[in-house]
Amino acid sequence: KRPFGAPDKSLARKVGSVGVVGAGLMASQLALLFVRRLKVPVTLTDLDQARVDKGVQYVHDEIDKLLLKGRLSPDAGNRLKALVRGSTDKAAFAGADVVIEAVFEDLAVKKQVLAELEAVVPETCVLLTNTSSLSVSDMAADLEHPERVAGFHFFNPVSVLPLVEVVKASKTDDATLATVFQLGKALKKTCVLAEDAPAFIVNRLLTRMMGEVVTAVDEGSDLHVADDALAPLGLPMSPFLLLNLVGPAIALHVSQTLHGAFPDRFGVSENLGRLVAAGKPAIWSYDSSGRPFVDEETAAL
């Protein structure tokens, strides 16, 4: 059965080589997923060798975990590791069929990345963005071939969560969309077609839920009480744990995008803003027995 909104699969192009721009949290998880499911060469790039090495190391370590869990044979693990390459030069994408970017959430940075990609990839290469909330149409606006650009938005942890939002930008053509849907199927994901609207579908809902809990704390509720209050709903994770997983900086960025688009409907938490400005990667830490606590510095912010 054709997924909702997917064009005829006969239009899809074959994917024999993948590039990932960025080697951070989402990018390295994407590289792992692509190599594991497609078993094709996957090249990761980032600004410097240290970041590239960290991203490649993450993929190798996760493959080792799969070996330990008995889900891969040592031979298969070694073959997968050999397919993952790192580079600081986007020229490494010269033969790629698909490149996905998962760099910093800044429209200007992403536009620059797509322009650099367009200069090196083959004409048939599909260019994807894992943006959480930015306009894919704006990102592709200055390109020579905006028709080959689409959003492909994954959720953290990438290996576990089945959903991916496929974002059709104003100029995305059917061959690109069909390739993306076929890719999603090969990755064993459930793809939904999303409009190119601020924060698409899922992050609007998540931001609404997390935003309400964060606002309750901004207004004086105890952080743990506010977080625990939702536990009986049976969510897989409490709102603040989820905020920690997503990362306060990304959560803040999504809420700022939504506030910019719908100022009456979405606010931006002052506490979250202070936390991110202070460079805090999480809202709480864990003590040696695994109990969450808010450190004094964070509490004082």
Q: Does 200 bind ligand 3HC (CB under 6 A)?
A: no
165 part of the active site = yes
Three-class DSSP category at 154: strand
Question: Which stretch of DSSP H or E encloses residue 186?
Answer: helix 174-186
Q: Does 125 bind ligand 3HC (CB under 6 A)?
A: no
Nearer to ligand 3HC, 157 or 263 (CB): 157
CB contact burial 197-227 (16+ within 10 A = b; e otherwise) = ebbbbbbbebbeebbebbbbbeeeeebeebb
Distance CA 136, CA 145 (A): 13
Distance CA 283, CA 295 (A): 9
Query: For residues 291 and 233, is the Cβ–Cβ distance under 8 A?
Result: no
What's the closest the beta carbon of residue 152 comes to ligand 3HC, in angstroms?
12
Q: Which of 101, 105, 118, 165 is catalytic?
A: 165
Pair of tokens at residue 231: 């536990």
- Evaluate the CA torsion angle 110, 115, 119, 124 in order and state its sign: positive
What's the closest the beta carbon of residue 199 comes to ligand 3HC, in angstroms?
8
Query: For residues 218 and 268, is the Cβ–Cβ distance under 8 A?
Result: no
Q: Does 236 bind ligand 3HC (CB under 6 A)?
A: yes
Q: Does 238 bind ligand 3HC (CB under 6 A)?
A: no
Nearer to ligand 3HC, 38 or 252 (CB): 252
Nearer to ligand 3HC, 159 or 170 (CB): 159
Binding range to ligand 3HC, per CB under 6 A, among 39-47, 93-101, 116-124, 152-160: 152-160
CB atoms within 10 A of CB 127: 27
Q: Does 261 bind ligand 3HC (CB under 6 A)?
A: no
Q: Does 100 bind ligand 3HC (CB under 6 A)?
A: no
What residues make contact with ligand 3HC under the rule CB under 6 A? Answer: 132, 155-157, 159-161, 203, 206, 236-237, 242, 246, 250
